[in-house]
Structure 1
Amino acid sequence: MPDTECIFCRGRDVDAELNRVEVWQDAHWRLTVALSSEVLGFAYLEPKRHISHIHSLDGDEAATFGPAMARATAALKLATGADVIYVYIFGDGVPHLHVHLAPHRGGDALNDQMIRGEIVEEKLSNGMTKFYSSEFPPLPRTELEDIATAVRLQLNS
């Protein structure tokens, strides 16, 4: 059941505000790709039902989490040519489970500290905090849109 206070429970209605695009969904999960990122194909997998933490998964969401993760990460890896997909779950102020999927390729902005360079924290008007590297500007939006399209094609073919 959606939480009227939760930004992620708004689904597609919030994607433009969060600068992301939905590339896949099923009955329980949706995958979006960031359209403002230092990382090619950076994505978010989140349950459609309001679930605050991974340990709160049950029923159909719990049963389909692994397959949804495998499908999403395989598509991201193929679409981006990544060596590996890093998976992060943070408690970043949004009480709706969302898994960060970060395709990593040699020389990109990622490292074992999540992102290379000086980390900048920016508090957004919607209450979320955006983290980014001062040394790596966002990639061109058209490049990020092309990757979102490639991921969508991988997941829907």
Structure 2
Amino acid sequence: MTADSCLLCRGAAADDELERIEVWQDAHWRLTVSLSSEVAGFAYLEPKRHIRYLHELDGAEAATFGPAIARCMAALKDATGAELVYVYVFGDGIPHLHVHLAPHRAGDALNDQMIRGEIVEEKLPNGMTRFFSTDFPALPRRDLEDAADRVRSLLIGG
């Protein structure tokens, strides 16, 4: 897909079709709020430049991503009275990076389930809650350690 054929690259011209409204933008980022959502303030933060994934951010986009998302999340939280704002990034829908920002309040349509299958909630002695799927058990610890070692090696060497 090219920027010319990308729905999100059309910016405000695509907002009606996507049932959303622009609420903020700067030189690199654009925030829109959904006009068709289960929760008030559900928003999308997207770069103005056509890229598909977070790892493709560069220069000023990369430098401003943290401040932009923090500013947008704070505004969404304050404007909606949300307890927190969930952040979702999926990579297989519209092929233009868009970060879903979902203000969450107790009793609304959102939940913290990220794993498919029957979810078990386990309260740990340290106060944390661990969620796991009975349908998709944890991978063997050695496989997870190997993946962590490969990531470490790519990021810091060694």
SS of match in other structure, 1:4: helix
1: distance between equivalents of 2:65 and 2:101? 14
In the alignment, structure 1 residue 29 sits paired with structure 2 residue 29: yes
Q: CA deviation at 1:113?
A: 2.5
1: distance between equivalents of 2:61 and 2:95? 17
Correspondences of 1:7-26 after superposition (within 5 Å): 7-26=7-26
Q: Report what 1:153 is aligned to.
A: none
1: distance between equivalents of 2:113 and 2:63? 31
Q: In terms of mean alpha carbon deviation, does 105-114 or 7-16 score higher?
A: 105-114
Q: Report what 1:95 is aligned to.
A: 95
8 Å contact from structure 2 (residues 52, 91) kept in 1: no
> Which amino acid counterpart does residue 87 of structure 1 have in structure 2?
V
Structure number with larger C-alpha Rg = 2
Q: Report what 2:156 is aligned to.
A: none
Q: CA deviation at 1:51?
A: 1.1
Q: CA deviation at 1:93?
A: 2.2
Could you give the per-residue CA deviations for residues 66-91 of structure 1, whole angstroms, max 9, x where no partner exists?
00001000000000000000000012
Q: Report what 1:61 is aligned to.
A: 61
5+ residue gaps, structure 2, are: 115-158
Q: CA deviation at 1:5?
A: 1.4
Q: TM-score under structure 1 normalisation?
A: 0.70
1: distance between equivalents of 2:102 and 2:21? 15
Could you give the per-residue CA deviations for residues 14-35 of structure 1, whole angstroms, max 9, x where no partner exists?
0000000000000000000000
Correspondences of 1:2-151 after superposition (within 5 Å): 3-113=3-113
Could you give the per-residue CA deviations for residues 117-149 of structure 1, whole angstroms, max 9, x where no partner exists?
xxxxxxxxxxxxxxxxxxxxxxxxxxxxxxxxx
2: distance between equivalents of 1:15 and 1:32? 8
Q: TM-score under structure 2 normalisation?
A: 0.69
1: distance between equivalents of 2:113 and 2:32? 23
> Which amino acid counterpart does residue 45 of structure 1 have in structure 2?
L
State percent identity of aligned pairs: 74
> Which amino acid counterpart does residue 74 of structure 1 have in structure 2?
A
2: distance between equivalents of 1:43 and 1:63? 21
> Which amino acid counterpart does residue 26 of structure 1 have in structure 2?
D
SS of match in other structure, 1:106: coil
| Greater RCO structure (CA 8 Å; 6+ sep) | 1
| Aligned residue pair count | 113
> Which amino acid counterpart does residue 102 of structure 2 have in structure 1?
A
